[in-house]
Structure 1
Amino acid sequence: MSAAADVPSSHEVKLAWSSELQMDVEENLDVALPHTSYLFLGIHHGIADGYTAMTICGLIIKLLNDVIEGTTIDDEELYGYAPDLSSSLVANRVQMIESNPEMKHFLFSEMRQRSRWRSAFDQVFTVPEEVAERSRHINYCLSEYSTTQFIEKCRSEGVEVHSGFSALANVALMELLVEKGIILDNYFICSSQTVDMRRYWGGDSSQFLLGCHVTPLHLWMGTPRNIMATFWELARSFQEAVDSAVSTGMVMDEEAIQRIVSPAPPDFNRAFRMPAIRQTDYYMVNLGDVTPLVTEGGPHVRVERIVNSISIKKGNIACSHFVHTFRGRLTHTLDYSTKFMTKELAKRYSDKIFQRMRELF
């Protein structure tokens, strides 16, 4: 748009993109904002994690409102990029492991054991070879009422939303396996929980939001076939495992071991060309309430919904879960790779999660 006159005086931006959107209530758009747009932002994961991306979205919304309002734009740098802060923490962890032979032996044994693991999607669910390699996703947005119900139920059971939703993801996957005729008393499912490294920086890190500062925590959780009878025990197991790993710094062990094994920087181009062996059933990312980062907007541009999604077609994972709350509504994105999952399977997986969630209220 070349001039302010070309910009509508009232505009609503949906920071969202979706191949399929499901909601448990109809949308109630702000009638005071008659114009609706969808804004797609492609942000490279090498320089941004979810928190950084949400911050960027918030800055764009503020900029749009300021331009329409005619406010003078301050072009001073707002945030810094600090990749070394997280890297130095892992380097310290490497030194600690190298100085403790018993710990090093234990961690290497765990790594070898995990290397023999095969994802359930790889073992059971097959996709025709001629299917094109694509990343797809399905979104589900809860109402404010259902979101509040789920959050309050999690709190009453002594777990965070992250653990409650991870347990639901396990239950839904277990039920898919049962449908495929894999009948066991207990199903061990491997999830990769994404942990924010900023918690270890110390001091005020608010000026260094830019960058990718997350690390994976792999958890193997037994999920009994009759788990819904004792669902919250599984959720509390997730909570205890994550809390323990975070409080002890064990979340950095996987990255530290990788540095010991291969000190040189990873060659991602080579890795993406190699045959994918799926050792993780799913990734789980929970950004919490992103409303303060994205902001609801101003008098001219307001945000109705925001959806996170990543391209996983070059990775070795079948799917990943993105969870966040915005304006009091929980949004879930199931990203999936067409190499490993069909649209029908992805939709059934997503549907099962929310079917089971409703049984908890």
Structure 2
Amino acid sequence: MHFSLLPFLPHSPPPPPTNSPSSLFSCIPPPSSTIHSPSLPLSCTPSPSLFSCTHAPLPSLFHAPLPHHSPLLPLSWHPGSPPPPSFMTLSLFRRHGRGPPLPVPLPPRPQGPLLHRPPPPLPSSLPPATRPGSPLLPHEGPHAARGGGGCGPGYAERFMTSAHDHGCMTTVYALWLDARAPIDFQVIKQATSIMYRKLPHLRMSIGRHKGKLWWREIPREAVDVEELRSDDVLATLESLLRRRYRMEEGPLWFTRFVPLQGEDECVRDNNHNLKYKYVCLFGFHHNVSDGTTNMKFCKVFLQVVNDLLAGREVDMRQEGVFATPLHDQIADDASSQSYLFTIFLKRFYKGILSYGAYVRNFTHIYRMPAENIASTRVLHHELDEFTTRNLLRRCKMEGVTLNSAFTAAANLTLYQMMASKNHSLDETTVNSLQAINMRRYWPKDAQPNTFGCHISMLDVGFDTRRADLDGFWEYSRGVHSSLVYQLTTTQHPLKIQPISERLILIICSNSWLDWAGLPSTNDNHYTVTNMGDLTHTFPGMGDEVEVSRVLRSVSCVPCHAVPAHAADLPRPLLLLPRLLHAEALAGDGHHVRPGHHRPPAEVHPHAQLT
């Protein structure tokens, strides 16, 4: 199961194919000497978290400062506004089915070093304001920003690339748009084309160079944008999670525009202004993006759409850099081979050899389905603004982050589900995977405006007892302390980075088990992904169009989390939002048991999984 909590913005497998370019065992990491600090850096400032938590001899696509063709026109937002409410999505995974077709073979690509390719011309359909007189986004020389003469992907990027062969790691974001006037599909097409130029990672594909995986810039504009008609946005999102990408040809992302139908097509807001409703769905391959990158994309896209609708000049400067994963080099220096070998053996036993022993406390009660259907399902629940504000305030007063409180709620919810079927269960262990933004380990000046897949996974188990149901905040503080210890003292997510790509072995084994008609093996009950506090990073406001809701999910079938029968679990899993709602509204948030109060200033910033 995969849990994510995002802000609700205030508006009121077959066996691995042999022809894949992403075979794990032929991926040899480049020498560490080719990894250098980027010349442009993106900041991660500590804040309360909300879920869904080389310098080259010549300038290049990834890091060269670009000429300013026009002034930047920022999004409109309201400083000092109250924290937005939030909503939560719970994705359920069923066992992967047999017999899906193999990916379409990719045509061969020419091999050899990546040479200079001038940027494609802007389409003639773009308004004159988006066609500055000077060349757009010039790139000179080979792709040298991620190592001299080009660079292969990092550890996490190789894992995500390999996972794609098994139907995993496709991320889909949905933005509900409220517009003052009808939006023509041509505006969305123009905005998508502009995004291709403004964000460097959107111009990337992945191929091979001398037998190794290698990043390539797509030689000509490649955008995938369509208009869809749908009465069920969630069903459309779930279907898009099954989409496969042409890894060598690109693009590794897409845009889908859905005008809402019927009574949702046009409504009046609290001020009786007419609002036209649309949904934009964006898909991203996880090897070129993470949550931080994707929310930056959403912010820039909304700004571009507002500029086009208002007839303003669009700022065509490139946003940020497709950054080197600096944490890979830091991890190489910090981890010994003996440590990595020990951790690998432990994870190999837990994830594969134990054959699901670490989650059997759950799977022997909620058994896997008999039918062979692979799917990622989304359950959608929202916390209103009042509840969210109280929950954030209570977390600060109790000395925990929202990520810790959410993890505690997930643990207790799963315990309640197990105890409801096994009344003698007084204590059990819940195993969790936590997605970590690895920019936290970078130098501060290297963090701002960096795009790419810069994450790692922290595996941690939590002992959960029946008595914890009556002491939620005390239990949350224990969860918080455990996460802080792993992130700051042991720095476990950083040290295991060199073996992170080997997690593909769990996905491969599950793919083969499914092919043989056997249950899959997993070692964690759920995964938490944390988007950070989006109050300022994505305010969602604009003069012509604004965002009223954000939803995201990721395809994880088959992956290293407990598969569950969707028909059996939706009602029990609603215990999680109910638990958070109850704790947020318990009392007035100002009274804490003696001996347990810590002022908000003492909340440890490193506990933020942003």
**Among 307, 312, 317, the residue aligned to 2:556:** 312
Cα displacement (A) at 1:146: 0.3
Q: Which amino acid letter does the alignment assign opposite residue 511 of structure 2?
A: R
2:181 aligned partner? 10
Is 1:359 aligned to 2:582, yes or no?
Answer: yes
1:67 aligned partner? 308
Cα displacement (A) at 1:173: 0.3
2:599 aligned partner? none
Cα displacement (A) at 1:179: 1.9
Rounded to whole Å, the distance in 1 between the matches of 2:506 and 2:486 is: 27
SS in 2 for 1:340: coil
Q: Which amino acid letter does the alignment assign opposite residue 521 of structure 2?
A: I
SS in 2 for 1:193: strand
2:526 aligned partner? 282
Indicate how the Cα distance of structure 1 residues 258 and 39 shifts in structure 2: closer, same or farther if over 3 A, else same.
closer
Rounded to whole Å, the distance in 2 between the matches of 1:76 and 1:129 is: 53
Q: Which amino acid letter does the alignment assign opposite residue 565 of structure 2?
A: M
Cα displacement (A) at 1:64: 0.1
1:273 aligned partner? 511
Q: Which amino acid letter does the alignment assign opposite residue 274 of structure 1?
A: W
SS in 1 for 2:451: coil
SS in 2 for 1:309: strand
Asked whether the 8 Å contact 2:340–2:496 carries over to 1, the reply is no
Q: Which amino acid letter does the alignment assign opposite residue 273 of structure 1?
A: S
Q: Which amino acid letter does the alignment assign opposite residue 145 of structure 1?
A: F
Cα displacement (A) at 1:254: 3.1
Rounded to whole Å, the distance in 2 between the matches of 1:280 and 1:269 is: 13
List alignment gaps of at least 5 residues for structure 2.
Answer: 1-124, 128-178, 189-231, 237-266, 514-519, 587-610
List alignment gaps of at least 5 residues for structure 1.
Answer: 21-26, 319-338
Asked whether the 8 Å contact 1:80–1:210 carries over to 2, the reply is yes
1:302 aligned partner? 546
| Bigger fraction of residues in helix | 1
Q: Counterparts in 2 of 1:107-118, with a 5 A limit?
A: 107=343, 110-111=346-347, 114-115=350-351, 116=354, 117-118=357-358
Cα displacement (A) at 1:310: 0.8
Rounded to whole Å, the distance in 1 between the matches of 2:346 and 2:268 is: 50
Rounded to whole Å, the distance in 1 between the matches of 2:444 and 2:350 is: 35
1:156 aligned partner? 397
Indicate how the Cα distance of structure 1 residues 19 and 163 shifts in structure 2: closer, same or farther if over 3 A, else same.
farther
Rounded to whole Å, the distance in 1 between the matches of 2:537 and 2:521 is: 36
Q: Counterparts in 2 of 1:97-176, with a 5 A limit?
A: 97-98=336-337, 107=343, 110-111=346-347, 114-115=350-351, 116=354, 117-119=357-359, 120-176=361-417
Indicate how the Cα distance of structure 1 residues 356 and 314 shifts in structure 2: closer, same or farther if over 3 A, else same.
same
Rounded to whole Å, the distance in 1 between the matches of 2:300 and 2:436 is: 24
Asked whether the 8 Å contact 1:11–1:302 carries over to 2, the reply is no
1:324 aligned partner? none
Q: Counterparts in 2 of 1:59-98, with a 5 A limit?
A: 59-94=300-335, 97-98=336-337
1:34 aligned partner? 275
Tell me the alpha carbon deviations over residues 100-124 of structure 1, each in whole angstroms, 9 at most, x when there is no partner. x5x5686467546634343244333
Indicate how the Cα distance of structure 1 residues 315 and 266 shifts in structure 2: closer, same or farther if over 3 A, else same.
closer
Is 1:198 aligned to 2:439, yes or no?
Answer: yes
SS in 2 for 1:234: helix
TM-score (normalizing by structure 1): 0.78
Tell me the alpha carbon deviations over residues 22-46 of structure 1, each in whole angstroms, 9 at most, x when there is no partner. xxxxx99564351011111111111
**Among 461, 464, 467, the residue aligned to 1:220:** 461
**Among 492, 495, 503, the residue aligned to 1:250:** 492
Indicate how the Cα distance of structure 1 residues 222 and 268 shifts in structure 2: closer, same or farther if over 3 A, else same.
closer
Asked whether the 8 Å contact 1:127–1:342 carries over to 2, the reply is no
Q: Which amino acid letter does the alignment assign opposite residue 255 of structure 1?
A: Q
Asked whether the 8 Å contact 2:369–2:564 carries over to 1, the reply is no
Cα displacement (A) at 1:232: 1.7
Asked whether the 8 Å contact 2:290–2:454 carries over to 1, the reply is yes
1:329 aligned partner? none
Indicate how the Cα distance of structure 1 residues 124 and 92 shifts in structure 2: closer, same or farther if over 3 A, else same.
farther
Tell me the alpha carbon deviations over residues 170-199 of structure 1, each in whole angstroms, 9 at most, x when there is no partner. 011001111222632211000011111001
Indicate how the Cα distance of structure 1 residues 266 and 132 shifts in structure 2: closer, same or farther if over 3 A, else same.
closer
Indicate how the Cα distance of structure 1 residues 89 and 182 shifts in structure 2: closer, same or farther if over 3 A, else same.
farther
Rounded to whole Å, the distance in 2 between the matches of 1:268 and 1:74 is: 44
Rounded to whole Å, the distance in 2 between the matches of 1:199 and 1:89 is: 12
Rounded to whole Å, the distance in 1 between the matches of 2:268 and 2:413 is: 30
Cα displacement (A) at 1:89: 2.3
Q: Which has the larger radius of gyration?
A: 2
**Among 211, 226, 233, the residue aligned to 2:452:** 211
Q: Which amino acid letter does the alignment assign opposite residue 359 of structure 1?
A: A
2:58 aligned partner? none
1:340 aligned partner? 564
Asked whether the 8 Å contact 2:344–2:499 carries over to 1, the reply is yes
TM-score (normalizing by structure 2): 0.48
Asked whether the 8 Å contact 1:163–1:238 carries over to 2, the reply is yes
Q: Counterparts in 2 of 1:234-245, with a 5 A limit?
A: 234-245=475-486
Q: Which amino acid letter does the alignment assign opposite residue 579 of structure 2?
A: R
2:284 aligned partner? 43
Rounded to whole Å, the distance in 1 between the matches of 2:576 and 2:330 is: 36
RMSD of the TM alignment (CA)? 3.2
Q: Which amino acid letter does the alignment assign opposite residue 69 of structure 1?
A: A
Cα displacement (A) at 1:54: 0.8
Indicate how the Cα distance of structure 1 residues 124 and 93 shifts in structure 2: closer, same or farther if over 3 A, else same.
farther
